[in-house]
A and B are shown apart, each in its own frame.
Chain A
Amino acid sequence: MSVLIYTENAEGKFKKSTFEAVSYARAIADQNNTNLVAISIGDVSNDELAGLAKYGADKVLNVSNTKLKNFINQAYASVIADAAKKEGADIIVLSNSFSGRGLAPRIAVKIEAGLADGAVSLPEQNGGKFTVKKTAFSGKAFAVVELTTANKVISLTPNSYKLVEKAVTPAIEDFSSEGNASDFKAMIKEIVRSTDKVSLPDADIVVSGGRGLKGPENWGMVEELAGLLGAALACSKPVSDSGWRPHSEHVGQTGIAVSPNLYIAIGISGAIQHLAGVSSSKVIVVINKDPEAPFFKVADYGIVGDAFEVVPKLIAAVKEYKASA
């Protein structure tokens, strides 16, 4: 047996969430006293692939077939299941990214594996029981799930496992696998990726605005604060429902769940549905003029004050901090 980690790339580069998943998979391999094999699919340079060894990938399988250059979940699932079979891997790990969510269920069905999606900590393996803790009820709770199958697939929630460096000598091998003919029905017409903005699910810091900001024309200061902090932008449901901001920024129970190191909520009262999506943030800062806003009850730090007064002052303070740092 061994552990197989699928290392997702975006335009040939691995993201932090990929390295987190490698660190996590390394720890699982150590729990089981076995090897960690990584599989990378697409156009990734050898230098980039060698970076996987820094986090403990004993071997890297590189699939650089032109047909597989872009992500097609159906074909990638075939290739990864094929690699698992050839490597004798019974645990497959990947990141619970948008693509990961399209991929993991297909792999799980192919290899008849139980799937723990959105894992937030290492599995526990006691007395033949293999259990994984995952988020449930949209962040309002966690569920401990036992995978009762011989093969197992685990997708890791981004920002929930720390990077652990454990350098090994990189061994990169070409791995040839084609997928099935029926895997290639989907045609990618266009990929739009804004490279200047931090993506919300991956962000270490998130700056989020609510109705308290009164209108889309007032987002300039939110963007400025986010820019200074290298943060991603987010918003509450009423804001995206009103069309002030795109749905892709909506954080909460029916939007995206995030788990950044720092979540700054500006003018968001903290409805239970919104709190669900941010509850696994490590530190929460709330800026709201209403001292009774429910968000303060789950915040670590807060400023009671009008956003239009507080945010410019906060921007000035961050600028000062950055100038002195």
Chain B
Amino acid sequence: MKILVCISNVPDTTTKITFTDNNTQFNTAGVQFILNPYDEIALARAIELTDGGNGSVTVINVGEAATEPTIRKALAIGATDAVRINAKAHDAWYVAYQVAEYVKANSFDLILTGRESIDYNGSKVAGMLGELLDLPSVSIIKKLDIEGGNVTVEREIEGGKEILTIPLPIVAGCAEGVAEPKIPNMRGIMSARTKPLTIVEPIEVKNFSEVISYETPAPRGQVKLVSVDDTAKLVDLLHEEARVI
């Protein structure tokens, strides 16, 4: 089985987010970039599914050379090989388009993404890839199993879950529950340096969106503290002042 895992390079979860140039640029100074946590889950599942020589896992990233440490991390975790589309990830549409073109030229049985990237949180690439490739897509899955040529996934819905069976190939966006992220071992780290990383030039495509500016949430006022013995006052404040109950 040939699996493709789409990965993105995102600011570490502990990053304090700030902007520069009159709030038009994300301030990357001092920011540690990591493999998107949901993509780690997708990668871990792909490695499990191909365990014991049962296929290969290719990771693909749309990014400039600076994303290579993240790609090497994915190789250290256990991906077979990697592809970097040499372009800035302009938006989800751009990324999906580039990946779809790569998939058309190199077929895969299963394409996994994370449910969303933790920077733009779009949950868009899986669905766009599905549409561009005319394949079924499931956007937020919590479980994925393969039997014969079919994949069974558990999809999150409000207040529950939905279980679907779909013939391969499909595109699926992985969330918590699909697999436990894997930590690279020493052998993985050593071998990652020599695993193939192919650089592919992007295909020109029209942009659909542009980020114009950023804002940070308005700060909240000073917290009003209520004593342990006066929970009735808290209820009163929530009812009378905040009007939320």
Contacts and interface: CB of A to CB of B under 8 A. Distances in A.
B176 interface: yes
Contact of A114 (B140, B167, B209, B239): B209
Interface string B111-142: 00000001111111111101110101111101
Nearest to A313: B231
B162 interface: yes
Interface stretch (A59-67, A163-171, A301-309): A301-309
Interface in B9-46: 11, 13-17, 19, 37-38
Max chain A C-beta neighbours (<10 A), residue from B37, B121, B227, B239: B121
Contacts of A172: none
B187 interface: no
Q: How large is the interface on B (under 10, 10 to 19, 20 to 34, 35 or more residues)?
A: 35 or more
A146 interface: yes
A15 B158 CA distance: 10
Contacts of B216: 140-142
A189 B153 CA distance: 10
Interface of B: 11, 13-17, 19, 37-38, 92-93, 96, 118-128, 130-132, 134, 136-140, 142, 152, 155-167, 170, 175-177, 207-217, 220-221, 223-229, 231-232, 234-239, 242, 244-245
Interface string A300-325: 11111100011001101110110000
A253 B34 CA distance: 14
Chain A at the B interface: SS class? mixed
B44 to A, nearest CB: 14
Interface string A45-75: 0000000000000000000000000010110
Given A99-B157, A193-B157, A194-B160, A110 B211 contact: no
A210 B165 CA distance: 35
A34 interface: no
B13 A273 contact: yes
B126 A190 contact: no
B179 to A, nearest CB: 12
B121 A110 contact: no
